[in-house]
Amino acid sequence: MDLFTGAVGIGQVHDFNPGIRAGGLFWTIPVPEHALTADIPHGTATLALSDLDQEDYHNLHNALLDGPSDPASVTFSMKWTASGPPMNVTDSVHRFTGRFMLSTIQIAWSASAPGFSFVSDAAGTTQNVKSVIGRERNGVFFDE
């Protein structure tokens, strides 16, 4: 999650992420099984974590360099609900295929770091541009 004092790309003041892992994997972490539920046939999924340890790198450049950071904590809850019929998408050139449904999503998010805290608007009051829920296969799994 990134926070800016102005337009995106200008005045970034917080960059919350889990850092860069061995092997170069960045901004990605495994989550406990209880944090994720999915019922794809019925078009619902949730992802929720509380008090997840993160780092606040303050800006993208510093984050990409794995530079100095402050300890931080984030809590979030996301719930997807299908709002349209399933659609199949396949790109053989890039070895990607999936079955997706347009969806709505409700997100509640908060963060804290030394001298700073943030809480999003109540879940359901934010505007969603586009979201999908579904299953995909790509790369070595494309032909399965």
- Alpha carbon 72 to chain centroid, angstroms: 17
In degrees and rounded to multiples of 5, residue 10 shows phi and psi of -125, 130
Q: Domain residues for 94?
A: 33-53+73-141
List residues bridging with 131 in a β-sheet. none
Tell whether 121 is covered by a domain: yes
Tell whether 15 is covered by a domain: no
> How many domains is the chain built from?
1
Encoding tokens for residue 68?
């100095």
Cβ–Cβ contacts within 10 Å for residue 59, how many? 16
Over residues 108-116, mean pLDDT: 92
* Tens digit of each residue's pLDDT (9 = 90 or more) over 113-141: 999 999 988 755 667 778 999 999 998 88
List residues bridging with 94 in a β-sheet. none
* Residues making up the chain, counted from first to last: 144
Encoding tokens for residue 112?
């804290």
* Tens digit of each residue's pLDDT (9 = 90 or more) over 35-80: 999 999 999 999 999 999 999 999 988 988 889 999 999 999 999 9
Q: What predicted TM-score, i.e. pTM, was given to this entire model?
A: 0.80
Helices and strands in the chain, H and E counts: 1, 9
Q: What angle do CA 6, 15, 70 make, to 5 degrees?
A: 125
Tell whether 22 is covered by a domain: no
Residue 4 class from Cβ within 10 Å (0-12 exposed, 13-18 middle, 19+ buried)? middle
pLDDT given for residue 126 in this prediction? 66
Tell whether 96 is covered by a domain: yes
Tell whether 106 is covered by a domain: yes
